[in-house]
């Protein structure tokens, strides 16, 4: 993505890899929008921590971070013993897979990397990095394709609502829900839901849109019903952390389900933009998707430029499910790299999307 830093335009990726140092390089998303800085992880354990503490976040971005983390772990192995190497890679895989449970992208990304590793230890180490790089590049290419397909839904002057952050920061670059905006010349206005409790919409999506000069405003999550009732929203596009091919159910940031219910109530089309890595081909029921429960402190406070501040009554407790699952019948369509499809059509398209 192109950003302006201290008056200078520069091109950056959300997730990258430094081969010489064997380090994963991440835009530190915990600091945005107040400070832009990169963070480096020196080993796979640090990479897993960066995923858990949301230095890097968003389904595609944690997919790429896990792919690079697996390569990083594989490359750190010393010796030629194939069995010991495989045991080591198993442990790296497990650590990264457990860093965040809801998005399927890290699993798909690491399976892809592992599937490419064969031969001697040295050959596998080389192939792991190559495969991680290919995953990252494919992520960008797929987001561009999503942009081209999604742009067909846009008409000049539209008001589009998006939730959380499924933009360039949530992927290696470009993003999914925001990709159609970057692929069109039409003037579109975006409503970014604040997305409590971590405010990815207010902090990250708004920052990205401002960097791209896209007209937008932030709304409280609770304002959406009112805006839809008044006819102020024409279209909703969100991302997803896991779409079940068998049922078409969509796991996404907490609050997505209620947006989809409101959109149906007010006949607003509700689209979900996803790359291939977000599709779960095996899971049978949305209720089986592991929903991450995060620290209650996130709900009991709010992020400020000066750090985290408690806003809730002292002594009160909280629940903090980070994702929810939207049934397929509430989803108008999935914007994929191969076109816009109905959630129920995914299985038929496995040869193209699998």
Count residues near ligand MRU (CB under 6 A).
Answer: 17
Residue window 183-202: x/- pattern of binding to ligand MRU, with contact defined by CB under 6 A: -----------------x--
Part in contact with ligand MRU (CB under 6 A); list of ranges 56-64, 138-146, 184-192, 343-351: 56-64
141, exposed or middle or buried, with CB in 10 Å at 0-12, 13-18, 19+?
A: middle
Distance separating alpha carbons of residues 175 and 147, to the nearest angstrom: 9
Q: Does 59 bind ligand MRU (CB under 6 A)?
A: yes
Spatial contact of 109 and 93, defined as CB atoms under 8 Å apart: no
Q: Point out the catalytic residue in the list 139, 221, 234, 241.
A: 241
CA atoms within 13 A on the CB side of 22: 16
Contacts of residue 310, defined as CB under 8 A and 6 or more positions apart, other chains included, come to: 297, 300, 301
Alpha carbon distances (Å) from 222 to 195, 225, 259: 10, 7, 10
- Reduced to 3 states (helix: H, G, I; strand: E, B; else coil), residue 86 is helix
Q: Does 170 bind ligand MRU (CB under 6 A)?
A: yes
Q: Does 108 bind ligand MRU (CB under 6 A)?
A: no
Member of 128, 146, 322, 325 binding ligand MRU (CB under 6 A): 322
Part in contact with ligand MRU (CB under 6 A); list of ranges 53-61, 84-92, 297-305, 326-334: 53-61
Beta carbon of residue 122, minimum distance to ligand MRU (angstroms, whole number): 35
| Residue in the shown chain whose Cβ atom is closest to ligand MRU | 239
Residue window 64-103: x/- pattern of binding to ligand MRU, with contact defined by CB under 6 A: ----------------------------------------
Beta carbon of residue 178, minimum distance to ligand MRU (angstroms, whole number): 10
Q: For residue 241, indicate whether it is catalytic.
A: yes
Distance separating alpha carbons of residues 171 and 22, to the nearest angstrom: 21
Q: Does 242 bind ligand MRU (CB under 6 A)?
A: no
Spatial contact of 41 and 69, defined as CB atoms under 8 Å apart: yes
Question: Catalytic amino acids?
Answer: 241
């Amino acid at each position: 993505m192109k950003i302006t830093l201290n008056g200078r335009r520069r091109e950056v990726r959300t997730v990258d890899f430094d081969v010489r140092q064997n380090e994963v390089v991440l835009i530190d998303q915990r600091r945005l929008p107040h400070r832009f800085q990169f963070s480096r992880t020196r080993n796979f354990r640090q990479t897993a921590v960066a995923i858990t503490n949301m230095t890097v976040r968003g389904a595609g971005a944690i997919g790429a971070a896990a792919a690079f983390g697996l390569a990083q772990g594989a490359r750190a192995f010393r010796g030629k013993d194939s069995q010991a190497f495989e045991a080591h890679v198993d442990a790296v895989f497990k650590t990264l897979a457990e860093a965040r449970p809801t998005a399927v992208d890290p699993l798909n990304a690491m399976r892809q990397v592992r599937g490419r590793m064969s031969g001697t230890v040295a050959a596998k180490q080389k192939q792991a990095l190559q495969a991680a790089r290919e995953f990252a590049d494919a992520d960008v290419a797929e987001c561009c394709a999503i942009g081209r397909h999604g742009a067909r839904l846009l008409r000049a002057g539209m008001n589009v609502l998006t939730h959380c952050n499924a933009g360039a920061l949530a992927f290696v670059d470009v993003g999914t829900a925001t990709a159609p905006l970057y692929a069109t010349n039409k003037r579109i206005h975006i409503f970014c839901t604040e997305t409590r409790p971590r405010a990815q919409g207010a902090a990250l999506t708004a920052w990205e849109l401002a960097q791209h000069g896209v007209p937008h405003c932030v709304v409280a999550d609770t304002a959406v019903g009112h805006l839809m009732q008044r006819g102020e929203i024409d279209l909703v596009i969100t991302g997803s952390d896991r779409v079940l091919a068998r049922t078409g159910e969509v796991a996404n940031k907490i609050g997505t389900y209620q947006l989809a219910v409101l959109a149906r109530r007010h006949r607003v089309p509700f689209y979900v933009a996803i790359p291939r890595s977000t599709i779960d081909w095996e899971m049978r029921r949305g209720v089986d998707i592991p929903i991450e429960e995060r620290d209650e402190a996130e709900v009991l406070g709010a992020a400020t430029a000066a750090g985290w501040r408690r806003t809730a009554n002292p002594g009160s407790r909280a629940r903090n499910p980070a994702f929810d699952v939207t049934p397929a019948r509430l989803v108008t369509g999935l914007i994929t790299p191969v076109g816009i499809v109905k959630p129920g059509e995914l299985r038929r398209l496995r040869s193209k999307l699998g």
